[in-house]
Amino acid sequence: MTASDFILNNYNNSKLNSGTFTWKTPSNIALVKYWGKREPQLPENASISFTLDACFTVTTLEYKLKNHKSKLASDSNNEILKQVQHDDTGYNFDIYFEGEKKDEFKPKIETFFNRIVEYVPFLKELDFVIDSRNSFPHSSGIASSASGMSALALCIMSIEKELNPTITEEYFNKKASFLARLGSGSACRSIEGELIVWGKHVEIPDSSDLFGIQFPYKVHENFKNYHDTILLVDEGEKQVSSTVGHKLMYNHPFSQQRFEQANNHLSELTEVLKTGDLSSFIRIVESEALSLHAMMMTSNPYFILMKPNTLKIIHKIWKFREETGSHICFTLDAGANVHVLFPEIEKIAINNFIINELIQYCQENHYICDRIGIGAKLISNN
């Protein structure tokens, strides 16, 4: 598929009226990381993630047809109307986050709309109210862009489905992922579950740089209900945004080796997910986390997102694994928090270990028990 397959042609806007859609969309955690991109939001290497379950965004999008359009078209000499017509070329929306009006979020949404309007031209014909909330605290250091952008993309796709009810579920999900990607790269992995690949990869048929797809092979039982307990080491805002981090991969001395390493890791992990080889899973996933942070530490300018407690937790995990033979491991996002990954079968022992030995390193002992999830859900449709 190419980007032009997602352009909505010849739609009948008489079907556009007003309505409300609410989507609940999960966050995701990458096992093989995406770090480095090219225009327009295309990844430099393939990545794969677990879709999460407990960390999600719920977004309601209310829309109605802008009402002065046809009148404007018929009176182009009227100066006042011309002015309104000028405004009419923009987007008209309000955004609320956790019940509060957030005008400061508007530029990000406008950038998103500008990137996607070519594919969903009806955006300019509508007035919107966006109302969003997260299941996790905003300042928790958990990126809300993946779940937030995917929820908005799904709401927009629900409007497209009103215009074009015959679109298949497959097309709906692909285009939702395609649109979400243009909002935030990793958001394209937050539409479906349980394992999503984004980025063209030779061993994954139908993989694409344009959107995420479900991992196409049968996944071993060992990965069923896999757990991800997120230890909130640092709940503050990140000092370096992922947008800046991705940009620093442009002139990075190790970028080509890193992109190659990630693609090789995905090849290896593909086998591991089929065979259930947990030792190899641990080796690949931890190497990915540390390689991501190594890129940050070796960029120009360099930076460190891990905190002393991030390292303390990592060393504790290694010691526990060494002493008990457990299959606990960690991964990291672009921040200080630690995602502790483990199989369902070991949950009792590992939960005890986390409570007794790890949460002391979390800010105010905060942590979130999450696990692999099945993807986004339409909550209401009026």
* The pairing of beta strand 212-214 with beta strand 100-101: unpaired
Q: Is 147 or 326 the residue whose CB approaches ligand PMV more closely?
A: 147
State in angstroms the smallest separation of the CB of 312 from ligand PMV.
21
Q: Is 60 or 186 the residue whose CB approaches ligand PMV more closely?
A: 186
Q: Is 35 or 330 the residue whose CB approaches ligand PMV more closely?
A: 35
Q: What angle do CA 129, 130, 136 make, to 5 degrees?
A: 155
In angstroms, rounded to a whole number, what is the distance separating the alpha carbons of residues 80 and 263? 56
Q: Is 149 or 350 the residue whose CB approaches ligand PMV more closely?
A: 149
Q: Is 184 or 270 the residue whose CB approaches ligand PMV more closely?
A: 184
In angstroms, rounded to a whole number, what is the distance separating the alpha carbons of residues 170 and 6? 12
Cβ proximity of 52 and 28 under 8 Å: yes
In angstroms, rounded to a whole number, what is the distance separating the alpha carbons of residues 255 and 214? 27
Q: Which token pair is 182?
A: 């243009």
Q: Is 149 or 282 the residue whose CB approaches ligand PMV more closely?
A: 149
In angstroms, rounded to a whole number, what is the distance separating the alpha carbons of residues 52 and 193? 8
State in angstroms the smallest separation of the CB of 187 from ligand PMV.
6
State in angstroms the smallest separation of the CB of 35 from ligand PMV.
6
Q: Which residues bind ligand PMV (CB under 6 A)?
A: 30, 33-35, 47, 143, 145, 184-186, 242, 246, 292, 333-334
Spatial CA neighbour of 57 closest among 174, 184, 196, 159: 184
Cβ proximity of 185 and 37 under 8 Å: yes
State in angstroms the smallest separation of the CB of 37 from ligand PMV.
7
- 3-state SS, residue 378: strand
